[in-house]
């Protein structure tokens, strides 16, 4: 297996060809996982337009709500989020580390879900933010998402706060390999194994009965024999200090904050909203439904990101 050099705030391997110009046609949004909301009215557009025009170095924080229009469910939206539709929860970091059976279950489910999950494409909101970067309005983008959709849209001034499912890391030697390459290895090791998926989570996970995963074979790192893990921050784990410090530095360089599609319930993201408040930076939030940061914002708009962000001229 060919391993990639250690990743340090670089684009996802193999995604450069998705970088787009504004003329690329946009697909219709997938609204199956998007909570109901009214279309943005003239007042909302005018308010966000004024907010964006008043800043020069915009810091943008995005969450699962920006990717729902690409057909990826979020966790918390009422009625449509994963937590609202199921009592199942994503794997915990400690469980993955201590249990070979848990890793087998995780990778079997991920193997089944990967073709569909990796095929999702950016929506109008991703393209809009990429365009803002190209026009030097967006200073830095921080995403909580692990779906690589910002990278597919061409965003480069970016931190993937919780990592990216398109990369896999060895827990022993820290070598990286592309997730697609690992998929091919899975296929070679499990030529006759089949399973039927039931639902797809925001991280590409699916739900399989226990009996279906027992015979699934999981490879070790071909470099050192170590355990392979998706290069993401699982629930119960922490974002590395080096990455957090970089985000704080980029926030310090910025003059305004836009939160797009995040409820800010996870503290690893909410703490940057708190830091923006401490720095007295104006903050706007575009999200369907309430967020943990509403009291911190000078502007809150209850709208689909894909419906509102492309209307803003920078």
pTM of the model: 0.86
Which of 162, 166, 185, 198 is catalytic? The answer is 162
310 is in an annotated binding site: no
178 is in an annotated binding site: no
> Which pLDDT does position 211 carry in this prediction?
82
Mean pLDDT for the stretch of residues 44-59: 98
Predicted confidence band at 198 (pLDDT cuts at 50, 70, 90)? low
Cα–Cα distance measured from residue 164 to residue 140, given in angstroms and rounded to the nearest whole number: 17
144 is in an annotated binding site: yes
> Which pLDDT does position 195 carry in this prediction?
83
Domain 39-72+122-162+237-313 indexed as CATH 3.40.50.1220 = yes
Q: Which residues pair with 163 in a beta bridge?
A: 232
Residue 5 pLDDT > 60, yes or no?
no
* CB distance 307 to 31 below 8 Å: no
Residue 117 pLDDT > 60, yes or no?
yes
162 is catalytic: yes
147 is in an annotated binding site: yes
Q: Which residues pair with 230 in a beta bridge?
A: 168
pLDDT digit string (tens) for 201-241?
Answer: 666 677 787 888 889 999 999 999 999 999 999 988 999 99
With helix as H, strand as E and coil as C, how does 6-54 read?
CCCCCCCCCCHHHCCCCCCCCCCCECCCCCCCCCCCHHHHHHHHHHHHH
* CB distance 179 to 80 below 8 Å: no
> Which pLDDT does position 16 carry in this prediction?
40
Rounded to the nearest 10 degrees, what angle do helices 241-252 and 267-278 cross at? 30
């Amino acid at each position: 297996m060919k391993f990639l050099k250690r990743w340090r705030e670089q684009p996802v391997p193999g995604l450069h060809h998705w970088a787009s110009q504004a003329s690329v046609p946009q697909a219709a949004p997938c609204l199956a996982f998007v909570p109901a909301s009214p279309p943005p009215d003239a007042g909302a557009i005018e308010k966000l337009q004024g907010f964006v025009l008043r800043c020069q170095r915009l810091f943008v924080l995005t969450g699962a709500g920006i990717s729902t229009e690409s057909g990826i469910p979020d966790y918390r939206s009422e009625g449509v989020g994963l937590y609202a539709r199921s009592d199942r929860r994503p794997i915990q970091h400690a469980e993955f580390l201590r249990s070979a059976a848990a890793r087998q279950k995780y990778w079997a489910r991920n193997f089944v879900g990967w073709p569909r999950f990796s095929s999702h494409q950016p929506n109008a909101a991703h393209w809009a933010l990429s365009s803002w970067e190209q026009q030097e309005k967006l200073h830095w983008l921080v995403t909580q998402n692990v779906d690589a959709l910002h990278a597919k849209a061409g965003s480069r001034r970016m931190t993937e706060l919780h990592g990216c499912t398109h990369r896999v890391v060895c827990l022993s030697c820290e070598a990286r390999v592309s997730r697609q390459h690992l998929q091919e290895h899975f296929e070679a090791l499990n030529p006759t194994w089949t399973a039927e998926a039931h639902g797809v989570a925001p991280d590409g996970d699916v739900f399989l009965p226990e009996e279906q995963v027992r015979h699934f074979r999981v490879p070790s790192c071909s470099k050192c024999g170590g355990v392979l893990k998706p290069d993401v921050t699982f629930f119960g784990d922490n974002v590395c200090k080096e990455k957090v410090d970089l985000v704080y530095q980029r926030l310090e360089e910025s003059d305004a904050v836009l939160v797009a599609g995040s409820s800010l319930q996870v503290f690893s993201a909410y703490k940057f909203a708190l830091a923006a408040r401490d720095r007295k930076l104006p903050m706007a939030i575009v999200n369907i439904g309430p967020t943990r940061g509403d009291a911190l914002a000078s502007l809150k708009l209850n709208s689909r990101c894909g419906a509102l962000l492309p209307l803003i001229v920078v």
